[in-house]
């Protein structure tokens, strides 16, 4: 009992168990009794003529044998690889498309066509420029500007009423826009300004001798140095302004002369000379003397 393994039967002989595999099974020294594989074939002739014998089985011999774009046939257990119609090459490696040669020279095509890569094509594609007409005669192209246009038909044709091709054709200060010379700053700058164009980029600027905001208004410069102003004024930001403005401290009287500003206290006999610098500390509080002169 339990002396033999799976797929086997036991028989007692002379008081000892003897094991044997069940019908349809064979002994495997490593795995015990295994199902006996049925041998479909032992040679090609055991199979149909379009099959071959491999590992005791009849199989399709065309699997992964021929290259791309091929047809595999089997006859009398022998394979044959061939390129598909319209393809050429090595059928065991790769077959590529074989284009039909429509032409080999221009004369093989109609007079308004040319031969390119063995095909008759329209030679006008992407040959002429903008606003042109392309004609073909005896396999040769001819480009011409459309009526009302002028220029190089192989590059670009423009309206014959245009003023310019680019900004170099325009006078100073103007740029070429839609084939016309225009003032790029027209209506955009303030009074007393000029429009400057650099590399086709325009900007407003004050005229020489003027200052201000060029998009609003520019005005003449009043001064460059103090001597350009009246005696009681000094030059600030190119304007003549009251020299005493914000020059002295509280409770003081300001008097300007030449390039000096003189601050006098209202309530004491004190004065201090300043040069356009307001007091950091008020020295002129009532009844207090500071640096008497």
DSSP-derived 3-state class of residue 83: strand
The Cα 231–Cα 83 span in angstroms is 108
Instruction: Tell me the sheet residues that pair with 134.
Output: 143
Instruction: Mark the ranges of the chain whose per-residue pLDDT is less than 50.
Output: 268-281, 283-293
CB burial readout 7-39, b (16+ within 10 A) else e: beeeeeeeeeeeeebeeebeeeeeeebeeeeee
**pLDDT tens digits for 90-149?**
999 988 887 777 888 999 999 999 998 888 899 998 889 989 999 999 999 999 999 988
pLDDT for the residue numbered 114: 92
- The secondary structure of the chain in percent helix, strand, coil, rounded to multiples of 5, reads 5, 40, 55
pLDDT for the residue numbered 166: 74
Mean pLDDT (the chain) is: 78
Long-range contacts of 72-78 (CB under 8 A, 24+ apart): 74/49, 74/50, 75/49, 75/50, 76/49, 77/44, 77/45, 77/47, 77/49, 77/50, 77/51, 77/52
pLDDT for the residue numbered 238: 80
pLDDT for the residue numbered 286: 36
pLDDT for the residue numbered 82: 95
pLDDT for the residue numbered 136: 92
User: Nearest CA to 227 among 262, 260, 273, 258?
Assistant: 258
pTM for the model stands at 0.30
């Amino acid at each position: 009992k339990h002396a033999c393994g799976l797929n086997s039967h036991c028989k007692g002989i002379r008081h000892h168990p003897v094991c044997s595999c069940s019908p349809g099974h064979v002994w495997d020294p490593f795995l015990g009794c295994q199902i006996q594989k049925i041998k479909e074939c032992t040679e090609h002739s055991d199979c149909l003529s379009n099959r071959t014998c491999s590992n005791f089985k009849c199989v399709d011999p065309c699997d992964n044998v021929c290259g791309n774009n091929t047809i595999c046939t089997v006859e009398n257990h022998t394979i044959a690889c061939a390129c598909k119609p319209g393809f050429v090459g090595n059928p065991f490696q790769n077959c590529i498309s074989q284009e039909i040669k429509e032409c080999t020279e221009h004369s093989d095509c109609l007079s308004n066509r040319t031969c390119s890569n063995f095909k008759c094509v329209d030679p006008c594609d992407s040959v002429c420029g903008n606003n042109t007409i392309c004609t073909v005669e005896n396999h040769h192209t001819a480009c011409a500007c459309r009526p009302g246009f002028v220029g190089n038909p192989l590059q670009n044709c423009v309206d014959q009423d245009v003023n310019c091709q680019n900004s170099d054709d325009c006078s100073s200060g103007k740029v070429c826009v839609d084939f016309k010379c225009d003032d790029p700053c027209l209506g955009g700058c303030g009074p007393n300004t000029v429009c400057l164009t650099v590399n086709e980029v325009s900007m407003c600027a004050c005229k020489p001798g003027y200052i201000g905001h060029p998009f609003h208004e520019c005005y003449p410069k009043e001064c460059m140095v103090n001597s350009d102003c009246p005696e009681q004024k000094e030059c600030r930001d190119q304007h003549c302004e009251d020299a005493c403005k914000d020059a002295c401290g509280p409770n003081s009287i300001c008097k300007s002369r030449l390039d000096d500003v003189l601050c006098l206290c209202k309530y004491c006999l004190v004065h201090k000379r300043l040069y356009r610098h307001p007091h950091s500390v008020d020295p002129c509080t009532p009844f207090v003397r500071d640096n008497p002169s």
